[in-house]
Structure 1
Amino acid sequence: MTARIERVVTEGVVDIDGVEHKVENNTWIVGDDDEVIVIDPARDAEKIMEQVGDREILAVICTAGLPDHVGAAIEVASRDEAIVALHPKDKPLWRETWSETWPDIDMEDDGVFGVADIQLDVMETPGVTPGSVSLYSEALEAVFTGKTLQADGPGKLGGEYPGLADQLTAIGGRLFTLPGATRVLAVHGDEVTIGDLEPHFDDWVSGSLTREAKPEGPLTDATGLSGIKIEPGDD
């Protein structure tokens, strides 16, 4: 059977530094009529499982350890005893939601997950969290970017850009090396393509994201962002 991508949208509230934010999350289901992998099961396991149906869940992959990426991970994985995967650098964040259990697999850069007739390649894309990852499927021409890259640019938490220099390094050096037609499927918002977003990269590096609301810390200077590492593939 040919693999496909399905989206489930859930709603909830996330507490960031004592402030509650109402958010919508995309949970992505990748697979065929027999088996699937679930990416970022934010909340509302029942709604996610309704979409999965009687297909076997092989794995639950969390692109970050934040509550709105892992909130339904254990419940979704439990029915089929699926593995739960997370980058080890995000384990402290995981424990804020799941204090008595751990993920089953530590993801690493260039790791591979297989489902149906395709594979998902792990790309380390830190920034929003130390262990943020993206998952690229060449066969499906899609990359699941979590919070690292969204339709409106790099990811935010509570209106700020955490680890923005690292985010832009990952975006420029990893994600923007993918083909322009690659679908960007993030944890929030609508889908776009790499080609839609890449023309904005130079503006992001020059400080357009932080010009009006400069975040705390050493990320910005008078000319824009400091600390950006220019990797092969950057313009």
Structure 2
Amino acid sequence: MRIERLVVPAPGRTDFTNNVWLVGDDAEVVVVDAAHDGDAIADAVGDRRVVATLVTHGHWDHVGAAPRLRARTHAPVLLHAADRTLWHESLVDAPDGELTDGLRLAVAGGEVEVRHTPGHTPGSCVVVAWPEGGEGDGEEQRGAARPLAVMTGDTLFHGGPGATRWPYSSFEGIVASIRERLLVLPPETPVHTGHGEDTTIGAEAADVAAWLARGW
């Protein structure tokens, strides 16, 4: 199992990009987020089978390519039910299914695990990639393997939590989600974010007090 990053610019906005993540191998992948350009994502997938596209939350820049990506890959697009309203602010059609806390999908000899992390949006989720022989269960990681990485969407970035400026967002909620669902992973776990550069669980855990002091 490996993880590939595709940086996709918004139409006409080379200064605004999203990270799309492909988790898998030469035969099959899971796509994490459907940003901006479905053809670019499908081209990066190539002839591999797409198990599913997991959309970390319903904001326009993470869902906009979903219809085209679905048409190209014939794979279901999954979104947490709490973000359906946000999805429909951008798209007329509907997701093909729901992300639920604890959902696991097999891919490339390992699996991806969905964790619900509300705060940025009500339905925000992260995706933990477990290689062959390891899996996650709440605060404990069973088996010999450790997580390959976690894809955090807009829940956690290099430098702290995602934005919580909307009425449906919650700073207290996002901090609780990060503490309870992310910081329980091993400190060396790579964090692959929805925008910008990578970080690690340990690097971000060291700054929680600073987030609380600044209030964002």
TM range (shorter): 0.7 to 0.9
Return the letter of the residue paired with 2:5.
Answer: R
Please give the root-mean-square deviation of Cα atoms over the aligned residues, in Å. 2.4
Q: Distance in 2 between matches of 1:104 and 1:86?
A: 8
Residue in structure 1 matching 2:116, options 121, 124, 132: 124
* C-alpha deviation, 1:46, in angstroms: 2.0
Matched, 1:70 2:30: no
The match for 2:207 is 200
Matched, 1:177 2:170: no
Return the letter of the residue paired with 1:23.
Answer: F
Residue in structure 1 matching 2:149, options 124, 142, 149: 142
* C-alpha deviation, 1:70, in angstroms: 0.6
Return the letter of the residue paired with 1:131.
Answer: G
Residue in structure 1 matching 2:5, options 7, 13, 16: 7
How do 1:1-235 residues align onto structure 2 when only pairs under 5 Å count?
3-12=1-10, 23-99=16-92, 101-139=93-131, 140-156=147-163, 162-205=169-212, 207-210=213-216
Matched residue count: 201
**Residues 78-98 of structure 1 deviation map (CA, whole Å, 9 limit, x = unaligned):** 223211100000000011111
**Residues 23-61 of structure 1 deviation map (CA, whole Å, 9 limit, x = unaligned):** 210000111111111111211122212211111112111
Return the letter of the residue paired with 1:48.
Answer: I
Contact map agreement 2:125 2:153 (CA 8 A) in 1? yes
* SS at 2:211 equivalent: helix
**Residues 188-214 of structure 1 deviation map (CA, whole Å, 9 limit, x = unaligned):** 011111011100012212x2245xxxx
* SS at 1:177 equivalent: coil
* C-alpha deviation, 1:105, in angstroms: 1.2
**Residues 94-133 of structure 1 deviation map (CA, whole Å, 9 limit, x = unaligned):** 111112x211111111111121111111111011100000
The structure that has the greater radius of gyration is: 1
Return the letter of the residue paired with 1:8.
Answer: L
Return the letter of the residue paired with 1:134.
Answer: V
Return the letter of the residue paired with 1:208.
Answer: R
* C-alpha deviation, 1:162, in angstroms: 3.9
Return the letter of the residue paired with 1:5.
Answer: I
Return the letter of the residue paired with 1:204.
Answer: W
Return the letter of the residue paired with 1:113.
Answer: L
Contact map agreement 2:11 2:36 (CA 8 A) in 1? no
* SS at 1:126 equivalent: coil
Q: CA distance change for structure 1 residues 184 and 128 in 2, over 3 Å: closer, same or farther? A: same
Q: Normalising by structure 1, what TM-score?
A: 0.79
Q: Distance in 2 between matches of 1:61 and 1:25?
A: 15
Return the letter of the residue paired with 2:39.
Answer: E
Q: Normalising by structure 2, what TM-score?
A: 0.86
Q: Distance in 2 between matches of 1:90 and 1:25?
A: 19
Return the letter of the residue paired with 1:63.
Answer: T
Q: Distance in 2 between matches of 1:57 and 1:120?
A: 13
**Residues 124-168 of structure 1 deviation map (CA, whole Å, 9 limit, x = unaligned):** 101110000011123252111100001121012679994111000
